[in-house]
Structure 1
Amino acid sequence: MLEKEDFKKIGEVVEEKISSVEKNLEKKIEKEIGELAMMTKKGFDAIDERFGKIDGRFGKIDGRFDKVNERFNKVDEKFGKIDKRFDKVDERFGKIDERFDRLEKMILRGDEAIVKLLIKNEERIEKLEKRVEKLELKLGLRTS
């Protein structure tokens, strides 16, 4: 027959195993959460990078249009061909509007990408929570 000390030893071994499983579970969960966080961060970094490039392009465009406007002012003063110059300026502003339309579309796509990432992360977190719950039930750490 088993004695009281044998039961204590068995209890200690079981507690060590449970503790080990809990630690492994925590490490796996932390790792998966870290991976999800990195994926989310990479997504946001990519979006930030795209918007940074877009901002840079529009900054260059603004600089170019400032120079163009200076040139047109000189031409208008010298030759008085205001109508032709305004037609060209109107065309250029039309191009700017097109570029802003494209930028708006890119921003909307970025918003959609962010929402998709958030939904995926929520789904993954729910799956992880279900896995943790199942493991806790298996280990007897939780009752159903």
Structure 2
Amino acid sequence: MGKKILWINPVATNLFDETFKKEFEKVKQPDTMVDVVSLPPASGPTHLEYNCYEVMIMPEILRMIKKAEEEEYDAAIIGCFYDPALRAAREITEKMVVTAPAESIYMQHKELTSHPAHPKRCSTSSGRSWM
């Protein structure tokens, strides 16, 4: 049986939901289901450029995370590089994986830079190395 993943766009607009869904369909495994949701319109800000906006959306994000776990999603991704509510979301889940882009990039970087063959270098798709 495939995986069930929820991408949460943590802003109060669904303007980008269909675009994200189409892009995920291109790269996901055939037996993986990816759902894309955003906060209900008028329930919060349309961007998270201020710390107070992150605080405003946390209760709704946590409700969405808890509901996703109840609906037996395998993972939820909070789709914002600020990783809003990530730690709190992990505190309220028991089985579901919860992540966000900034943390994922950090973990990937950590893995790449700790590889014994390339302890301080990574290679780009063009073959050029960078540190």
The TM-score normalised by the length of structure 1 is: 0.22
Quick check: which one's helix share is greater?
A: 1
The TM-score normalised by the length of structure 2 is: 0.24
Structure (1 or 2) with the larger CA radius of gyration = 1
